[in-house]
Amino acid sequence: MKKTFRMMDLDCANCAAKMERAIQNIDGVTSATVSFMTQKLTLEADDARFDQIVKEAVKACKKVEPDCEIVVK
Amino acid sequence: MTKKQKKTLRRILGSVVLFAVVWAVTALASLPPWGEFLLYLLPYALIGWDILWKAVRNILNGQVFDENFLMALATVGAFGCGEYREGVAVMLFYQVGELFQSVAVSRSRASIAQLMDIRPDSANVERDGQVVTVDPEEVTVDEIIVIRAGERVPLDGTVVEGASSLDTAALTGESMPRDVAAGDEVVSGCVNLSGLLRVKVSRPFGESTVAKILDLVENSAAKKAKAEHFITKFARYYTPTVVLCAVALAVLPPLLGLGAWRTWVLRALNFLVVSCPCALVISIPLSFFGGIGGASRQGILVKGGNYLEALAKAGTVVFDKTGTLTQGRFAVTEVSPVGMDREELLELAAQAEQFSNHPIARSILTAWGGIPNRDRVAQVEELAGRGLRVQVDGRMVLAGNERLLTENGMVLPEQPEAPGTVIHLAVEGRYAGRLVISDQLKPGAREAIQALKAAGVGRTVMLTGDSEAAGQAAARELGLDQVYAQLLPGDKVDRVEALLAEKTPGHTLVYVGDGINDAPVLSRADVGVAMGAMGSDAAIEAADVVLMDDDLRKLSRAVAIARKTMTIVKENTVFAIGVKLAVLALSAAGLVGLWWAVFADVGVSVIAILNSSRMLKAH
């Protein structure tokens, strides 16, 4: 499954790169890109564990930049 | 400026004033060192508290090479060495730079959002005899919407009533308005210029042209170019390396007895300030984003930074002929009668072909211009792969290819090879002449190919299913280097494979087609370009670059935009890395102070961002 999430208050480009790397390392993630310009996360991961992976991704981002919020709809 | 940015600005101004007052006080009154320290702590706390707070928080999260932490360490270090003024000033400049960056980035985001401002806000839909204004997403297929003059077409559909002209500039970059009347299709995103239109909706909003384009451009950032990957990779190793160097610089020389601890620690602090890779990490994606945004403004949709990168290196451009270089509209280009006059031959052919709906037959009727009389024609017999045998005014007429005539025992006179499809005619067993029907070249196709060559494209190739003669004729007229004719659809993929194998390293192969029949070829090429895609889903799906209208000249413009983007990317990479390395070297030698280090960090970022934003203003 592939899904795009909006990211609020993503203020630092290097953080975006760090988040991208952190999310890519989560087990079950096929591909992940964090775009600083469009403030979006594009995540492709296992269908079965998708929600779990999203939770882990949110956690990983919080670790890099606690002020940044991933909008999970 | 956003609220947050304004708040930061006020904080910076307040800190500047406080800093100046403290500076004046310490210059006039002779205070003990701890008094100076406490006084300078005031502006430092005001300007730097958030950085210090983030540094502590992030270090607890295990983010060692966090820029807040490094900046905090550098300024605290400066205080520790008794350089109070430097400590405050570095923090101040860092904040000014960050604010500047933040403003520049939000400006770029805003101007791209403006470029892509084609999303319709509302639709006027007729329901129960009344016109109600609703969100375009709420309109269903087959409902009737009303579009007034000055409004944006909210959904794709067919005009049922009214006539007007539409401004398609937002989609195609073309300023020439397009006239529409009942029966014509309208595409969402255009602006209705004059009359009132009633339109029957053909697709829900989610599948409309506008939604597709917006989706495509917004998601283009997810396909990153090699240059972007290089930068993130570089950043990953750069910061730890510089920080380790800083530690070594602070510790090793004093241990070896090369000077005082304070001197070397101060130099090492410079390293910490320069270690942030932000300039690169921001400006490179910004350049690609700007390039994609600027291109879409001209009706060129690029699906990702990687394709922009590949397009800039175009070395071979392969064109499909029909519908790409030609209009896909057939016309009679040669009439060569034998033993009768031109008009007679045309009329004969037109009468014979009047029942056929084939585009070639239609073009003959158009060329003749008269109205055919079905009573004059009898015994129409279609001979597959050959042509027609038919009675016209009681005379036996053959109309078809060479094979048809030779099979009926006729010998054709020597004729030059024709640049198109040939229809030979014979009356009562006697050869009567031939018509040549060819596809019309697109206006601007020749200029487009010349522009590509001028831009350094080494090889231009045409692929066609037409005859060798037709292909060669078109290629000569267009100035193409090579033609492969008589190809079946499957052969095109093999041809492109072969051309891919032949291209010079470092260059890419671009394939340009109409996107309808050549999806496999489009995906095989390094960059697949689909033309005239307004309203064609298949083309938008299959291609990497989509030209919204039929104008081939957009292709060279797309290459130019791609090249410009890559130039800016290279400039920024070399400039930022160059300045950082230079400042690192000078810092190690003790020739520059913390001020320069701050410039190498935020100053370079700001300059790189400004350079990138040229991509947005160029058009």
Query: What are the phi and psi torsion angles at B23 (to 5°)?
Result: -60, -45
CA distance B50 to chain A (A): 12
B109 contact A CB<8A: yes
pLDDT for res B562: 93
Q: How far apart are CA B162 and CA B156, in angstroms?
A: 16
Alpha carbon B182 to chain centroid distance? Answer: 33
Write out the DSSP string of B432-476.
EEEEEEEEEEPTTHHHHHHHHHHTT--EEEEE-SS-HHHHHHHHH
Q: Do B222 and A37 touch (CB under 8 A)?
A: no
Of B109, B218, B232, the CB nearest to A17: B232
Q: How far apart are CA B83 and CA B202, in angstroms?
A: 71
Hey, what's the torsion of the CAs at B555, B558, B564, B565, to 10 degrees? -150
Write out the DSSP string of B162-211.
--EEEE-HHHH---S-EEE-TT-EE-TT-EE-SS-EEEEE-S-GGGSHHH
A44 → chain B, closest CA residue: B222
Q: Which two tokens stand for residue B302?
A: 């690029």
Per residue in B283-298, pLDDT (tens digit) is: 888 888 888 888 888 8
Q: Where are the alpha helices (DSSP H) in B167-319?
A: 169-172, 209-219, 226-255, 261-274, 278-297, 305-312
pLDDT for res B21: 92
pLDDT for res B512: 92
CA distance B305 to chain A (A): 12
Q: Do B221 and A38 touch (CB under 8 A)?
A: yes
Task: Give, to the nearest 10 degrees, the angle between helix B278-297 and helix B84-115.
Answer: 20
- How does strand B430-441 pair with strand B459-463? unpaired
Q: Do A20 and B102 touch (CB under 8 A)?
A: no
Number of Cβ pairs closer than 8 Å across A and B?
Answer: 61
Of B219, B223, B278, the CB nearest to A14: B278
Q: What is the mean predicted confidence (pLDDT) over B171-183?
A: 81
Residue B436 pLDDT > 70? yes
Q: A63, exposed or middle or buried, with CB in 10 Å at 0-12, 13-18, 19+?
A: middle
Q: How far apart are CA B50 and CA B72, in angstroms?
A: 10
- How does strand B527-530 pair with strand A2-8? unpaired
Per residue in B542-552, pLDDT (tens digit) is: 789 988 877 88
Nearest Cα to B91, choosing from B602, B592, B577, B579?
B602
Q: How far apart are CA B459 and CA B318, in angstroms?
A: 8
- Rg of the Cα atoms in chain B: 35
Question: Which residues on chain A are in Cβ contact (under 8 Å) with B63?
Answer: 18, 63-64
pLDDT for res B307: 93
Nearest Cα to B93, choosing from B33, B19, B37?
B19
Q: How far apart are CA B18 and CA B21, in angstroms?
A: 5
pTM here?
Answer: 0.79
Instruction: Read off the pLDDT band of B617 (50, 70, 90).
Output: low
Query: What are the phi and psi torsion angles at A33 (to 5°)?
Result: -130, 140
Nearest Cα to B611, choosing from B582, B576, B563?
B576
Q: Do A33 and B222 touch (CB under 8 A)?
A: yes
Residue B618 pLDDT > 60? no
Per residue in B130-160, pLDDT (tens digit) is: 899 999 888 999 999 999 988 899 999 999 9
What are the residues whose beta carbons fall under 8 Å from the beta carbon of A41, sequence distance 6 or more? A4, A5, A6, A7, A19, A23, A32, A33, A34, A35, A57, A61, A70
Cα–Cα separations (whole angstroms), residue B259 to B268, B412, B505, B583: 13, 101, 52, 21
Of B224, B276, B286, the CB nearest to A14: B276
Instruction: Read off the pLDDT band of B116 (50, 70, 90).
Output: low
Task: Give, to the nearest 10 degrees, the angle between helix A13-24 and helix B226-255.
Answer: 100
Question: Can you tell me whether residue B331 is helix, strand or coil?
Answer: strand
Q: What is the mean predicted confidence (pLDDT) over A2-21?
A: 85
A20 contact B CB<8A: yes
CA distance A49 to chain B (A): 22
Q: What whole-number percentage of chain A has pLDDT above 90?
A: 12
Domains of chain B: 123-154+156-202 (2.70.150.10), 327-440 (3.40.1110.10)
Q: What is the mean predicted confidence (pLDDT) over B194-201?
A: 91
Residue B194 pLDDT > 60? yes
B60 contact A CB<8A: no
Residue B225 pLDDT > 70? yes
Q: Do A33 and B289 touch (CB under 8 A)?
A: no
Instruction: Read off the pLDDT band of B571 (50, 70, 90).
Output: very high
Average pLDDT, chain B: 86
Q: Which two tokens stand for residue B357?
A: 């709906």
Q: What residues of B act catalytically?
A: 320
Q: What's the 3-state SS for B58-93?
A: HHHCCCCCCHHHHHHHHHHHHHHCCCHHHHHHHHHH
Q: What is the mean predicted confidence (pLDDT) over B359-376?
A: 83
pLDDT for res B308: 93
CA distance A1 to chain B (A): 15
Per residue in B207-217, pLDDT (tens digit) is: 888 888 777 77
ipTM: 0.83
Nearest Cα to B594, choosing from B272, B291, B363?
B272
Q: Which of residues 40-59 of A touch B (CB under 8 A)?
A: 40, 42
Q: Do B281 and A63 touch (CB under 8 A)?
A: no
Of B63, B232, B236, the CB nearest to A64: B63
Question: Can you tell me whether residue A27 is helix, strand or coil?
Answer: coil
Instruction: Read off the pLDDT band of A73 (50, 70, 90).
Output: low
Per residue in B475-532, pLDDT (tens digit) is: 888 899 999 988 877 788 899 999 999 888 889 999 998 766 777 888 889 999 988 7
Instruction: Read off the pLDDT band of B533 (50, 70, 90).
Output: low
Q: Which of residues 22-41 of A touch B (CB under 8 A)?
A: 33, 35-40
Residue B619 pLDDT > 60? no
For residues A18 and A68, the answer to whether their CB atoms sit within 8 Å is: no
Q: Do B218 and A40 touch (CB under 8 A)?
A: yes
Of A16, A18, A35, the CB nearest to B222: A35
- The residue with greater pLDDT, B304 or B30, is B304
A11 → chain B, closest CA residue: B102
